[in-house]
Amino acid sequence: MTLSPVDKPPFAITTPLYYVNGLPHIGSAYTTIAADVVARFYRLMGHPVLMITGTDEHGQKIQRTAEERGVSPQAHCDEYVAGFEHLWELLNINCDRFIRTTDPRHNTIVNEFFQRVWARGDIYQGQQQGWYCVSCEEFKEERDLLPDQRCPIHTNKTVEWRDESNYFFKLSNYQAQLEQLYAERPDFIQPESRRNEVLSFVKRGLQDFSISRINLDWGFPVPTDPGHTLYVWFDALLGYITALQDSNEPPSLEQAIAHWWPINIHLIGKDILRFHAVYWPAMLMSAGLPVPGRVYGHGFLTKDGQKMGKSQGNTLDPVDLVKRYGPDAVRYYFMREIEFGKDGDFNETRFINVLNADLANDLGNLLNRTLKMAGRYCDGKVPGVDPQAMADGHPLRAIGRSLTETVPKAYSCLAFSQACNAVLTLVQASNKFLDDQAPWSLYKQGKQAETEVVLYAVLESVRQAAYLLSPIIPGISNQIYAQLGFAVDFNDRAIGQALGYDDQVGWGLLPPGQPLGEASPVFQRLELPEPVASA
């Protein structure tokens, strides 16, 4: 049974809330692009969707960065947040909520949540000793450190010894409940490799973790003891709840969780898996709230094998990349080229080659030459062919029909490169089909009906490809749809209602006789940058 749009359940997805210790780098852009793609796919299917992103603004890391710059932490955050908002706009991210953890409404939600956990008896005061990585904002096990007390994630940073009075959260109380959650819901943590990491971590026995700091001003005070400041992670995770609240409602935990809770997917990088897959569900259990649907930990973008990051100083400037190549190019490359869940290296030559091959040649040229032929041979209209009369074994129809199943499944599993590859099989088969069938020569031989059948099949394949790739390359899909004679905008948040999913996802749905638009290249070939001459 297909659900009508109104019946489709709401779908909420989050990115991590990014630290504003620097401008966003391509690693942060990567997660946000992926979340945007999933959100767009669910909108296409007609679900009510809420995509949340935002910034994590408290803690020592931000306080120190602001001090180094000689500005107040708030002024620092305000300045850097703008950089995130600007990048999301450049990358055509259609987010519904942008939460800043310095939002005063957030303080109310954090206090309410804290009180629930406090009332449950899950918070106590104790002494915290250990090695702290300010870049991770996390205590590290001594055995995990690199030589010279360096952090295994921020390999150029040394950890700092701490010995202070903190409040602790009784994570150990939730050992059994967490194990039960992982057993009952095997897809709670994805991909499988990350799930296994978490299972073995939890099996070693859970230790309580500290949720407050002393000697730190930049954060919310602990409600029961204002001499302590809440640990940045305790506050940050709750940002996912504050984000659910409409800005015109007075803040309240009850209200905030009324509509979109539990979140369907928390999309994160693998370095913050423990916080999301262990600490967070335990905190929620303690507060008597349902846990999220799934936590997906993707891999790292690396440069020369090293994690790219602000703290490592080896980042690629996403603003520069998107300004040079455009949002669709950047979105497509990362979704197509890196198997989601695994690490992937960025290489500019590969970037250009992939885009030229897939978008300029295979997809763009296919549309361009077919449209021109339709202009000449079919009076600039979609050929008047009945697609249902085509043989079941028609090569493009057969592939197109299979995509109706495989591509949505790939998106739901966040297997973006599989979705792209599946669509490309249709695009490549269409190029071959066009060459084999040679409609230009059919036309010369006066075989009008045969010419039309061939052109219809190719135009329809391009349409279906554009529809299925629209979550990834909405700008290009818009152009393709316009050239095929539709008036739609894939950036429309109500796209699922504007273009019924069932009317678009299959093969054979291009309306015969529809006037076609002007043919023009949808993606300009990219040139490799000139190598910098060495002195």
- The residue ranges that bind ligand MSP (CB under 6 A) are 16-19, 27-28, 30-31, 56, 236-237, 239, 268-269, 271-272, 300-301, 307-309
Nearer to ligand MSP, 292 or 475 (CB): 292
Q: How far is the CB of 40 from ligand MSP (least distance, A)?
A: 20
Kindly calculate the radius of gyration of the chain based on its CA atoms and give it in whole angstroms.
26
Nearer to ligand MSP, 283 or 366 (CB): 283
Q: Are strands 123-133 and 138-140 parallel, antiparallel or unpaired?
A: antiparallel
Nearer to ligand MSP, 237 or 522 (CB): 237
Q: How far is the CB of 287 from ligand MSP (least distance, A)?
A: 16
CA pair distance 448, 514, nearest whole angstrom: 18
* The pair of three-digit structure tokens given for residue 222, joined into one six-digit string: 């602990």
Q: What is the full DSSP assignment across 497-535?
A: HHS-HHHHSSSS-SPTTPBP-----SSPPPPPPPPPPP-
Nearer to ligand MSP, 16 or 439 (CB): 16
Pair 229, 213: CB distance under 8 Å: yes
| For residue 191, cis peptide bond before it (omega within 30 degrees of 0) | yes
Nearer to ligand MSP, 191 or 485 (CB): 191
Q: How far is the CB of 6 from ligand MSP (least distance, A)?
A: 32
CA pair distance 520, 483, nearest whole angstrom: 8
Nearer to ligand MSP, 98 or 481 (CB): 98
Q: How far is the CB of 142 from ligand MSP (least distance, A)?
A: 22
Nearer to ligand MSP, 96 or 362 (CB): 96
Nearer to ligand MSP, 273 or 415 (CB): 273
Nearer to ligand MSP, 20 or 469 (CB): 20
> Which long-range contacts does 336-340 make (Cβ < 8 Å, 24+ apart)?
336/416, 336/417, 336/420, 336/421, 336/472, 337/417, 338/299, 338/301, 338/417, 339/415, 339/417, 340/34, 340/298, 340/299, 340/414, 340/415, 340/416, 340/417
Q: How far is the CB of 451 from ligand MSP (least distance, A)?
A: 49
Q: How far is the CB of 27 from ligand MSP (least distance, A)?
A: 2
For the chain, the residue count is: 535
Instruction: List all residues 6 or more positions away from 226 whose beta carbon is below 8 Å from its beta carbon.
Output: none
Tokens 């309240």 — which residue? 252
Nearer to ligand MSP, 128 or 315 (CB): 315
Q: How far is the CB of 411 from ligand MSP (least distance, A)?
A: 20
Q: Which residue is nearest to ligand MSP (CB)?
A: 269
Q: How far is the CB of 54 from ligand MSP (least distance, A)?
A: 9
**469 three-state secondary structure:** helix
Q: How far is the CB of 346 from ligand MSP (least distance, A)?
A: 9
Count other Cβ atoms within 10 Å, centred on residue 72. Answer: 13
CA pair distance 290, 456, nearest whole angstrom: 50
CA pair distance 123, 131, nearest whole angstrom: 22
Pair 470, 328: CB distance under 8 Å: no
Distances in whole angstroms, Cα of residue 413 to Cα of each of 45, 191, 294, 508 = 15, 9, 11, 26
Q: How far is the CB of 135 from ligand MSP (least distance, A)?
A: 8
